[in-house]
Amino acid sequence: MSRRYTRALITGINGQDGAWLAAHLLGEGIEVFGTHRPTSPAGNWRLQELGFAQHPNLHLHALDAGNLVACRSLLGDVEPQAIFHLAGQSRVADSFRDPLGSVQANGIATLNLLEAMRRQTPDAHFVLASSAEIFGSPEVAPQDEETPLRAASPYGLSKLLAHSAMGSWRASFGLAASSAILFNHESELRDEAFVTRKISLGVARILLGKQQELALGNLDARRDFGYAPEYMAALANMADRESGDDYVLATGHAASVREFASAAFAAVDMPIEWQGRAAAEIGREVKSGKVRVRIDAQLLRPIDAPLLVGNAGKARKQLGFDPGIGLHELTRRMVEADLQRERNGRPG
C-alpha cells in the first residue's frame, strides 16, 4: 500500500513489537532505521526468524534514548518521516524492583525523543507504544480512550508519563503525536520473561520431557490477549494519519491466566483440570494425572489489576483495526513455535 511516509525509525527493534513492525514496513517497501541499546548486540534473532535480518532497506543504530543529544543527532542524521517509539522497560514485575529506572526508561526517554523530533523533524508523525497499565485497576469495563487514567504500578506510572507527554506536545507544539494504548499482545516472538511465553515454552518443554511442571503467579488476573502482528499493523496506520490521537488497541475479550494456560496445554492435546484454591491451586494433566502447574508465591505482584479489557471501537473505525486471532489460535501458534525451536535447538 502507498503511505504518507517512506522512511521510518523504530526504537527497540530487537523486541517483539519492533521486529513485527519492521517486518511489516519492510514488506511494504518502507526504509526502516532500527535502534537497539548500546549494550545490546545489533543481531536480531527475531528478524532472522521472520526472514528480514539482511533486508537492504534495514539499517541498525545503537541509541541511548536517555541521552537527548544522542536522540537529536540520530533524528538529524536519519530524518525519519515516521517515528515508532517501542523501546523501554517493558515488564511490570521489573518496575517494582527498579521504579526510578522504569520512569527513566519509559518516561524521560519519550520526552527526549519528542524534543528531538520537535527540533529536528517536526513534520514527522510520532507513535508511542503506550499501555493499558495506565488505567491501573479500572472500575469500569471495557476501557477506552475516555477511561480515567489511574496508574498504580511503577510501570503504569512510567507509561502514563510518556502517554501524557504525547498529548502535551501535541497540544503545545502542534506535533503529530499518537499513543497506541496497547492491551496484552502476544506472539511467537514474545520474550521468555512474560507469563504468556513462559507458558508456551513450558508446555513445549513438558511435552518433550525437558521439564515436568510450570510455576505461575496470579491465575485469576484477566487480560485482553491479542496477536502482536495485528497490533503493529495498526501502529503503521496510525503514523499514516495527518494528525495525532490516542487509540485503544484490544480484542474486547478477556481471559484469565488460568484460561491461557489451559488453552496452551490443549494445543498439544494435554488437557488440564484445576484443583484447589489460592496458593494451593494446581493444574493436573487429565490423561497422566501428573501435576503440571503450581503456584509460586514469589511470582505474585504487589499490585495486579483483576481485569483489563479494551474497547477498540475508535481504532476499528479510523484505522481499520480488526483483530482476528483469538486465544486458542494464539496459544497454538506460540506453542508450536516453541516446540520447533526446542527440537531444533534454535534461540528464541
**Domain count of the fold of the chain:** 2
Q: How many residues belong to the chain?
A: 348
Cell, residue 96: 517494582
Residue 173: band (very low, low, confident or very high) from pLDDT cuts 50, 70, 90: very high
Write the CATH number for 202.
3.90.25.10
Assign residue 222 a region: left if phi > 0, alpha if psi is -120 to 50, beta otherwise? Answer: beta
Cell of 146: 475516555
**pLDDT per residue as tens digits for the range 84-143:** 999 988 777 787 888 898 989 899 999 999 999 999 999 999 999 999 999 999 999 999
> Residue 108's pLDDT is what?
95
Selection from 90, 223, 205, 200 nearest residue 155 by Cα = 90
83 shares a domain with 58: yes
Residue 303 pLDDT greater than 90, yes or no: no
Specify whether 157 is located in the same domain as 292: no
216 and 137 assigned to the same domain: no
Tell me phi and psi for residue 177, to 5 degrees. -130, 120
Catalytic residue of the set 31, 155, 188, 230: 155
> Residues 46, 149: one domain?
yes
Percent of the chain with pLDDT over 70: 98
| Cβ neighbours for 277, distance < 8 A, ≥ 6 positions apart | none
Whichever domain contains 32, its CATH number is 3.40.50.720
- Which pLDDT does position 345 carry in this prediction? 82
The predicted pLDDT at position 91 comes to 76
Q: Is 155 a catalytic residue?
A: yes
pLDDT score at 95: 78
Angle (nearest 5°) at CA 135 between 134 and 137: 125
58 lies in the same domain as 143 = yes
The reply to whether 328 falls in a domain is no
Q: Is position 146 within any domain? A: yes
In a domain? residue 15:
yes
Which one of 133, 186, 188, 230 is the catalytic residue?
133
Question: Average pLDDT of the chain?
Answer: 95
The verdict on pTM exceeding 0.85 is yes
Domain range holding 48? 7-188+226-252+308-323
Concatenating the DSSP letter of every residue in 136-148 gives -S-SSSSB-TTS-
Do 205 and 156 share a structural domain?
A: no
> Which of 62, 114, 66 shows the shortest CA–CA distance to 88?
66
Average of pLDDT values for 319-340?
97
Per-residue pLDDT for 43 more than 70?
A: no
The pLDDT assigned to 42 comes to: 63
Q: Is the pLDDT of residue 234 over 90?
A: yes
- Classify 99 as helix, strand or coil: helix
Same domain, 177 and 268: no
Q: What is the CA radius of gyration of the chain?
A: 20
Question: Active-site residue 231, yes or no?
Answer: no
Residues 29 and 169 placed together within one structural domain of the fold: yes
